[in-house]
Amino acid sequence: METVDIDEAFDAFEERWAPRLLASLNGQELKAAKLEGAFVWHSHPDADELFWVIEGDLTLELEGEPDQQLSDGELGVVPAGVEHRPVADGLAKVVLFEPAGTENTGDADAEDRKREVQTLED
């Protein structure tokens, strides 16, 4: 069994919007990401996406619904197919939980923002 120290995980990288794999289980992946600024509008047609804010503030803008504000220790789940855009006012350290292989840009045509999930050692 492997263990992960979440603080050490976030200290291991600086890049924004470039998720790092923390763990895999039952076809799902747990990823650490540092977010800052606004991402692209996108959806994941077949996958729910969990955002868990470890530190900072994150707004989940949701198409046709009120924005969701998340702060330290709070999490929210964007249901499959819901168009959304994460926006971090300042640096936010976030853990993501979603099916393995889920692209960070979902169905958006945003090649410049697409990132492969890396390990902490990358």
Name all domains of the chain by residue range, CATH numbers in brackets.
6-119 (2.60.120.10)
pLDDT at 113: 62
pLDDT at 110: 63
Q: What is the pLDDT of residues 91-101, one digit of tens each?
A: 999 999 999 98
pLDDT at 103: 77
Q: pLDDT under 70 in the chain at which residues?
A: 105-115, 122
Calculate ∠ Cα 114-119-120, nearest 5°: 115
pLDDT at 37: 97
Cα separation of 39 and 32, whole Å?
16
Nearest residue to 106 (alpha-carbon basis) of 43, 47, 61: 43
